[in-house]
Amino acid sequence: MGITSWHARTPKDAPFNQPQPRASEQAAATPTTAAPRASAQQNRMLAKQETQADPIAAMDWPTLQQTVAGCRACGLCDGRNNTVFGVGNQHAKLMLVGEAPGREEDLKGEPFVGRAGQLLDRMLAAVELKREQIYIANIVKCRPPGNRNPHADEAAACRAYLLRQIELVQP
């Protein structure tokens, strides 16, 4: 499958001796002016405008999942068995986002199953986490044919769904 198994660094491998930028270099990289802060009222107005312009931004979990299940915004829907919405703790502190579902994910309707899921389980165990403690989603919600990487337009079609998942989880 071509997936490398990663292990924690030993202290001798850790990048402790990296050169630090000089104060003059940091000052040159720091912007000299800051953008004015928006007032609370302006923020509420912007949020309301965004919600009106993008109904996905106001969806709750069940509505979002139902909308994804019926999505036909790109050609990936033509070859899917299931949409792969996401799974896990909807109030997790950690959210993992994969690129696209594969064949096994498409058949089951869940991200990271099969060999990739087994590797993820081992990685989580290495940091003393379980799937139930995190939320897992993908950039695109349908499997690209032949397990190819998703095209930019396909990722763009699913972007609002993923952004809403992130907003709802608040990792």
- Residue 16 covered by a domain: no
- Residue 17 covered by a domain: no
The conformational region for residue 114 under phi > 0 = left, psi -120 to 50 = alpha, else beta, is left
- Residue 8 covered by a domain: no
Give the per-residue pLDDT at 46.
55
**96: three-class secondary structure by DSSP:** strand
- Residue 154 covered by a domain: yes
Element (H, E) at 94: strand 94-98
Low-confidence ranges of the chain (pLDDT < 50): 1, 13-19, 23-24, 27, 32, 35, 51
Residue 111 belongs to domain spanning: 39-169
**136: three-class secondary structure by DSSP:** strand
CATH number of the structural domain spanning residue 69: 3.40.470.10
- Residue 91 covered by a domain: yes
pLDDT digits (tens, 9 = 90+) for 54-67: 899 999 999 999 99
- How many domains are there within the chain? 1
- Residue 23 covered by a domain: no
